Structure 1
């Protein structure tokens, strides 16, 4: 028996049944947010990581300064190792702003002399991080 058809059928073709339909995969009604377009900073240059590092360092610095203010206001034992550590770190972070404000009230002086660098570190760190994320 010779095959008289004009073209040969593919191997495994069953002449009695129609071919099986392709598997059905539901497409989502809407693609996920941001699908198909790269995000800013995803160019692999590390600017997003650098911005995150600067942001985190500014937050940690401000947290140490705020913690020292709280410990001082509540009269924490300055002989304690932890309180001494926080005081040393806060003093190192706020060395440039010591005695900017000379008040008669010691608590107000501590709030202003340690609060000012905390606010400046937060503003500068978050500002620099925001600028880096825009690249």
Structure 2
């Protein structure tokens, strides 16, 4: 394998890991904003909430706990953990090849 090809592979793995980190950061930020009762009329809060809803569309209503804050932490937190785990697993596999 040529060094040039290998370097491109390493960059692809790094990009995948960074994207996974950013996705998990957005989800974690929304959880924090929710728990701290951030002003939902604020543009930044709305942006983070919309992005988190899109990223966790498959998991944000997965659980039916009685407390709303537990549903938010579990649903959005699960998505963050899955993105981190899968993204870094893929990045690690790309780096190995």
TM-score category (smaller protein): over 0.9
Asked if 1:80 is matched to 2:42, the reply is: yes
Q: Which of 1 and 2 has greater Rg?
A: 1
Aligned alpha-carbon RMSD (Å) = 1.2
Structure 1's unaligned 5+ residue stretches are 1-40
Greater helix fraction, Structure 1 or Structure 2? 2
C-alpha deviation, 1:44, in angstroms: 1.4
List, as ranges, runs of 4+ consecutive aligned residues in structure 1 with deviation greater than 6 Å.
Answer: none
Provide the residue aligned with 2:93 in structure 1: 131
Asked if 1:44 is matched to 2:4, the reply is: yes
Question: Which of structures 1 and 2 has the larger relative contact order (alpha carbons within 8 angstroms, sep 6+)?
Answer: 2
Q: Residues of 1 paired with 2:80 and 2:72: CA distance?
A: 12
How many residues align structurally?
A: 95
Structure 2's unaligned 5+ residue stretches are none
Q: Residues of 2 paired with 1:42 and 1:109: CA distance?
A: 49
What's the TM-score once normalised by structure 2's chain length? 0.94
C-alpha deviation, 1:42, in angstroms: 6.9
What's the TM-score once normalised by structure 1's chain length? 0.68
